[in-house]
Structure 1
Amino acid sequence: MTLNIMMGRSRGVRRWMLSAMMALWVVLVAVGAARAELSDREQFVNLIYEGRLQEACDFLSNRPAEVVGEDVKGLEPLLERYAELEATRRERKGASYGEAVEEARKELAAGEVEKALSGVRKAKFYAEDEQQFGQQEWVKQVVAEALLKAEQYLADHEWLKAGNIYGELSTIYEDEKQYEDKTKECATRARIESLYESGEDWQEQVKGIKMDVLAEISYHVENYYVDDPDLRKLTLGGLESLALFTQIEKLKENFPVLADSEKVGAYNERVAGLIEQVKAEKQESFSETDLMRAFVKFMMINQETLELPENLVTREFVDGAMFKLDQFSGVIWPYEMDDFQKHTLGKFSGVGIQITMDKNKLKVITPIFGTPAYKAGIEPGAFITSIDGESTDGITIDQAVRKITGPKGTIVRLGILHSWADDPVDIPIMRDTIIIHTVKGAKLETDDAWDYLIDPEDKIAYLRITSFTESTVEDLHEAIRQIESSGARGLIVDLRFNPGGTLRAAVDTADIFLEDGVIVSTKGRAVDSYEGKAETDGPQFDLPLVVLINNISASGSEIVCGALRDHGRAMVIGERSYGKGSVQNVIRLANGASRLKLTTAYYYLPSGICLHRRDDAKEWGVDPNIEVALSPEELRDVMELQRDAEVIQNHKEANGASAADEEQGATDADEAEGEGSVTTTTSTAPAEASTQPAKKEYPRVDPQLETALLVMKTRLATELPWKPVLQEEKLQGIARSPVSAIGPKSTAPVVTEE
């Protein structure tokens, strides 16, 4: 009987498998039939909209105009020129890789380990296979010698130099978390050393801090932080920060007790024991009460050993704990309040850059267009290595803001390390009042007038939004009025390098392009949710849209392009966005002297995707429909092209442009109008005077914008919108794998709607 039951079950399983296979076969046949029913014209458009541009080029070359239509066949020269552009990009990338490798090997042979490591980092940007690149024997040799150098720096208490090496390694091996952890540890040591070795200045920075603020901070974190906080992890962060205090040799001058080996030994032993006690606690049940109990135990240890000031201990414990929370949460201490309020109200003078922390290094998100930093040539992604000659290693965002801002007309000197450079350069910048104009066009005609038509023949308009401020929407309405009056048929909206801004401005911007539907929502663990929707009674702009983004597009720009993508209103082209999708509340603490900046919610797109990049996340931000990744050199080209668009042509010489600049501008223009020819450098010296071959120069191009123009021209020629193409794939439930393009891999992710 058991055998019969088993045989019956076996037959049931076979019948179920057969039914499933038949159902799958029916679905595949139906999908295949649906695809077969598409005309050649529709198949071509699908290839373009999916970013399969080389396939589209091959497809069109084998179809006569009678089959696909004269309008589609007319796109063939554009595709051929695009293919030439991509071939040049591959050639340039290969040449840059070879140069970086040669440079790194030369520095290694000369014993310049840190310079060799910098060369390895540069070469990785151009490697075809980044994983394989990192496994090459010569790269491993550089890494091994660099690690030995870092260990020596640690032994010599050279935290900054050691941290720089670990930072380079964390960039080369992004998946190996130990390098990032080492970078953070060095940064913490450098911060403590920088703060407390500076004479009496440290006393000003901890003035007004009371121990009772910790209970209030921990209460807010436990009850209002966006995620369920790991209070044990925060406690360990605070204790570990305080444990480092005795390990920094330079602090002995200001804290003589650190020279007392007996007291230091007792302090170290007892703090280490307390850390082990906290580690032994269960994370799930570790509460605010447990955090406070651990802090009280530490205070008893401190009173019986080093007797460090209460305000110092409180600040170090809180800063160490908040460091474990997220990079956007933190405490604004009494010493920092004046600068914070100036920054919040916008009543300050500065240089005009948006900054962030990247692996504990001060990084430029983007300069604000038209500001002193922009005019000085500071580029997105550059690291600020020093401010007025003082290293930025270990510095906080608020400290950097305080140092960079200052009275109008004064000079600040910034050490800038661009991604394509080996060494930083010292750039003096005069502070000025920052006036932000956030809506730009294709080319500046006069001081206050933009030409928005980037392609007058096909009537394609272009505008760039550099950030979202209170005036953005008003400026955008005026720009759109001009675009519509010019007879434009399509619009490219450039959100690259846009760091965000106010939520209201971002929602209102998306509303201009959407008829209805959700734009963005916020959700937190213990705060009210918010939902921004498009208003049907507002003015609408209904021309076809392409949106450009890159990995610096953040916050508000992610909200706009994500909503337009999710609703099928725009084709998004470029690179995955930054992933700054968190909401911070600034909470006034009871003593009135400090503020808690706490992440309380995340932004969600209409599709339900969370924008924020969490630790160890594999997905974040907005993925483009068509991915076009840029090399560091191409990124620099794009920045220069955008800057050139803001130069009034007949004022070039008055603004200090030399004859050589004018000649180069003419050369660039000739190349843009020609057949994609490339130029080489020339020399006035006799040919035999140089044994080095002339380095090939490439014309400056914007591959992402070129792709956007090609896609928009296809849309205008065929009048086939993006939305039906995306909807068809959603209905079929087809999950596409990444497909080949002429250049970098391109994907068109399917948007799902609840």
Structure 2
Amino acid sequence: MSEPRVFHRQVVWLAIAAFVGVLFWRLPHVANRDLVVYETYNALVEVDALVRREFVQPVEDDRLVEGAIHGLLRRLDPYSSYIPATAGDRLARQTTGEYVGIGVEIAPGARGWTVIAPIQGGPAEQAGIRADDALSAVDGVETERLSMQSLEDLLSGEPGSAVRLTVQGVDDPEPREVVVTRSRIHVASVQVADDALSGADLQAVQAAAGIGYLRLAHFHSGTGRELDAALQRLDEKATRGLILDLRSNPGGLMEQALEVLDRFITSGLLLSTVNRRGVVERFEASGGAHWAELPLMVLIDRHSASASEIVAGALQSRGRAKVIGERSFGKGSVQHVIPLREGQGAVKLTVAYYRLPSGRILHRTRANEKTDAWGVIPDETVGVAGRSGARSDEADPVLVRAIEMLSGTDGPPMSRADTGRSLGR
């Protein structure tokens, strides 16, 4: 390492120490807290010096700093992470729905990192990866202590390259190894029945006169536009009602969830967020809803998370739709991507919790996970035979039940009044 770089690093740490010393002098009422901070950073400086002096191989400043940031954020929650300046593909995945990878959504679960769902037709699905598979290793690297971003980095790579996964299904007696070839993935945000369903499921929707079906697979920057185009295609068919299928939807951009809600709710509160200081930010309908009178059924399952929970929960909370299926995942926290100075990447940090119009907070924590105080709870719980669209001789019971409720085959057809008119709440 050059002398100027060593000198620069020493000056930085001395400046930090001097700043903390000034805090001691100027703010005696918080001296105890500042002492803890000072001692913590003092230990970090000592470890930094020890590593540079004694570690068996030369080390790079960038790697040490990046590792320290990763470690700090990993202690917060599974959703806060460091995004290096070189990880542009990761941001593209979050905003555009396009990236290079294996086509799988993952989330933390009781069995460790778990597959929410493989993307339909993607490399992971073709290789035999299934929903609810626990992912214990990637190319021999154990995933237990990895952050979400570190795991995504392992799964990403060049198109055509292979990655070896160690996975175990709920009913598998032993883990199995699966080799998946990476490719460029495009996640279609909105699909009509002809594109999303097959077999008995598609036949069930086609036979339901006046009922439309849309699957929302993800919320990225084009979701609102895709939804408008899909609704235009269904305008004449969906005269009696619409099924919004949010099952296995891991979420995405909050702004796009609000755009979806704005198509179906005319006025009033759609969502609010509350931060650590109790500051509440409210998001209201724009008044331009073109399908505010269309009866809605929303399908969710235990893998419906984040933005999909916003849509399902807000439509239910406002009395705008009935929700059926399984209780949702319970990921109701807000992450902001905050750029660091001088091109040093960015930090994705949890800064607030979502709150539905009813006041309910969606987020599941260790403190509330054994209660009913998280997630979206369906109006009617229906057993799941697998993801909607699975190739089977028997139609998905959740989809069938939604069609029954909209068409009135088990009673009077559901009307706009049945989903509630309390738009001012």
**Given the superposition, is the C-alpha separation of residues 533 and 753 from structure 1 closer, same or farther in structure 2, using an over 3 Å criterion?**
closer
Q: Which secondary structure does the structure 1 equivalent of 2:224 belong to? A: helix
Q: Which residue of 2 aligns with 1:625?
A: 379
**Given the superposition, is the C-alpha separation of residues 288 and 420 from structure 1 closer, same or farther in structure 2, using an over 3 Å criterion?**
farther
Question: C-alpha deviations, 1:308-366, integer Å up to 9, x for none?
Answer: 6696887676555434322212334xxx4313x22113474211112233358332222
Q: Distance in 2 between matches of 1:537 and 1:726?
A: 19
Q: Which secondary structure does the structure 2 equivalent of 1:338 belong to? A: coil
1:460 to 211, 215, 222: 211
Spell out the pairing of 1:223-238 with structure 2 (5 A cutoff).
none
- Asked if 1:338 corresponds to 2:86, the answer is yes
1:485 to 230, 236, 258: 236
2:133 to 357, 382, 404: 382
Q: Which secondary structure does the structure 1 equivalent of 2:86 belong to? A: helix
- Asked if 1:557 corresponds to 2:308, the answer is yes
Amino acid at match of 2:215: R
Q: Distance in 2 between matches of 1:620 and 1:456?
A: 36
Q: Which residue of 2 aligns with 1:292?
A: 38
Kindly indicate whether the alpha-carbon contact (under 8 Å) linking 1:568 and 1:723 is maintained by their aligned counterparts in 2.
no
Amino acid at match of 1:409: G
Amino acid at match of 1:628: V
Q: Distance in 2 between matches of 1:421 and 1:455?
A: 36
Structure with more helix by fraction: 1
Amino acid at match of 1:718: P
Kindly indicate whether the alpha-carbon contact (under 8 Å) linking 2:219 and 2:253 is maintained by their aligned counterparts in 1.
yes
Q: Distance in 2 between matches of 1:709 and 1:446?
A: 14
1:711 to 396, 402, 405: 405
Q: Which secondary structure does the structure 2 equivalent of 1:563 belong to? A: helix
Kindly indicate whether the alpha-carbon contact (under 8 Å) linking 1:411 and 1:429 is maintained by their aligned counterparts in 2.
yes
Kindly indicate whether the alpha-carbon contact (under 8 Å) linking 2:274 and 2:352 is maintained by their aligned counterparts in 1.
yes
Q: CA deviation at 1:715?
A: 8.3
Amino acid at match of 1:546: M
Q: Which secondary structure does the structure 2 equivalent of 1:427 belong to? A: strand
Q: Distance in 2 between matches of 1:359 and 1:285?
A: 40
2:103 to 321, 330, 352: 352
Q: Which residue of 2 aligns with 1:226?
A: none
Q: Distance in 2 between matches of 1:554 and 1:344?
A: 19
Q: CA deviation at 1:499?
A: 0.6
> Which is higher, the Rg of structure 1 or of structure 2?
1
Question: C-alpha deviations, 1:290-325, integer Å up to 9, x for none?
Answer: 223233156558868996669688767655543432
Q: CA deviation at 1:535?
A: 2.2
- Asked if 1:575 corresponds to 2:326, the answer is yes
Q: CA deviation at 1:495?
A: 0.4
Q: Which residue of 1 aligns with 2:5?
A: none
State the TM-score, normalizing by the size of structure 1. 0.46
Q: Distance in 2 between matches of 1:407 and 1:713?
A: 48
Kindly indicate whether the alpha-carbon contact (under 8 Å) linking 1:444 and 1:451 is maintained by their aligned counterparts in 2.
no
Q: Which residue of 2 aligns with 1:508?
A: 259
Question: C-alpha deviations, 1:90-129, integer Å up to 9, x for none?
Answer: xxxxxxxxxxxxxxxxxxxxxxxxxxxxxxxxxxxxxxxx
**Given the superposition, is the C-alpha separation of residues 437 and 510 from structure 1 closer, same or farther in structure 2, using an over 3 Å criterion?**
same
Amino acid at match of 2:126: K
Q: Distance in 2 between matches of 1:546 and 1:501?
A: 21
Q: Which runs of 5+ in 2 are unaligned?
A: 1-8, 21-29
Q: CA deviation at 1:467?
A: 0.8
Spell out the pairing of 1:251-290 with structure 2 (5 A cutoff).
287-290=33-36
Q: Which secondary structure does the structure 2 equivalent of 1:462 belong to? A: strand
**Given the superposition, is the C-alpha separation of residues 412 and 213 from structure 1 closer, same or farther in structure 2, using an over 3 Å criterion?**
farther
Aligned residues: 391
Q: Which secondary structure does the structure 2 equivalent of 1:473 belong to? A: helix
**Given the superposition, is the C-alpha separation of residues 331 and 405 from structure 1 closer, same or farther in structure 2, using an over 3 Å criterion?**
closer
Q: Which secondary structure does the structure 2 equivalent of 1:337 belong to? A: coil
Q: Which residue of 1 aligns with 2:346?
A: 595
Q: Which residue of 2 aligns with 1:41?
A: none
Kindly indicate whether the alpha-carbon contact (under 8 Å) linking 2:274 and 2:353 is maintained by their aligned counterparts in 1.
yes
Q: Distance in 2 between matches of 1:344 and 1:305?
A: 32
Q: CA deviation at 1:466?
A: 0.7
**Given the superposition, is the C-alpha separation of residues 509 and 498 from structure 1 closer, same or farther in structure 2, using an over 3 Å criterion?**
same
TM-align CA RMSD = 4.0
Amino acid at match of 1:337: A
Question: C-alpha deviations, 1:559-616, integer Å up to 9, x for none?
Answer: 1111110111110111221121111223333464253322111111111111222332
Structure with more strand by fraction: 2
Q: Which residue of 2 aligns with 1:586?
A: 337
Q: Distance in 1 between matches of 2:66 and 2:141?
A: 23
Kindly indicate whether the alpha-carbon contact (under 8 Å) linking 1:348 and 1:406 is maintained by their aligned counterparts in 2.
no
Amino acid at match of 2:293: D
Q: Which residue of 2 aligns with 1:97?
A: none
Kindly indicate whether the alpha-carbon contact (under 8 Å) linking 1:521 and 1:603 is maintained by their aligned counterparts in 2.
yes
Kindly indicate whether the alpha-carbon contact (under 8 Å) linking 2:268 and 2:424 is maintained by their aligned counterparts in 1.
no
Question: C-alpha deviations, 1:166-199, integer Å up to 9, x for none?
Answer: xxxxxxxxxxxxxxxxxxxxxxxxxxxxxxxxxx
Q: Which residue of 1 aligns with 2:6?
A: none
Q: CA deviation at 1:381?
A: 2.2
Q: Distance in 2 between matches of 1:708 and 1:723?
A: 17
**Given the superposition, is the C-alpha separation of residues 286 and 627 from structure 1 closer, same or farther in structure 2, using an over 3 Å criterion?**
farther
State the TM-score, normalizing by the size of structure 2. 0.78
Q: Which secondary structure does the structure 2 equivalent of 1:345 belong to? A: helix
Kindly indicate whether the alpha-carbon contact (under 8 Å) linking 1:549 and 1:574 is maintained by their aligned counterparts in 2.
yes
Kindly indicate whether the alpha-carbon contact (under 8 Å) linking 1:586 and 1:597 is maintained by their aligned counterparts in 2.
yes
Kindly indicate whether the alpha-carbon contact (under 8 Å) linking 1:439 and 1:465 is maintained by their aligned counterparts in 2.
yes
**Given the superposition, is the C-alpha separation of residues 325 and 412 from structure 1 closer, same or farther in structure 2, using an over 3 Å criterion?**
closer
Q: Distance in 2 between matches of 1:472 and 1:598?
A: 23
Kindly indicate whether the alpha-carbon contact (under 8 Å) linking 2:190 and 2:214 is maintained by their aligned counterparts in 1.
yes
Question: C-alpha deviations, 1:429-479, integer Å up to 9, x for none?
Answer: 2222112212223344999xx979705254332221111122222222222
Kindly indicate whether the alpha-carbon contact (under 8 Å) linking 1:467 and 1:498 is maintained by their aligned counterparts in 2.
yes
Q: CA deviation at 1:487?
A: 5.5
Q: Which runs of 5+ in 1 are unaligned?
A: 1-207, 220-283, 645-664, 673-700, 728-750
Q: CA deviation at 1:504?
A: 1.9
Question: C-alpha deviations, 1:479-498, integer Å up to 9, x for none?
Answer: 22232222541221110100
Kindly indicate whether the alpha-carbon contact (under 8 Å) linking 1:441 and 1:451 is maintained by their aligned counterparts in 2.
no
Q: Which residue of 2 aligns with 1:543?
A: 294
Q: Which secondary structure does the structure 2 equivalent of 1:342 belong to? A: helix
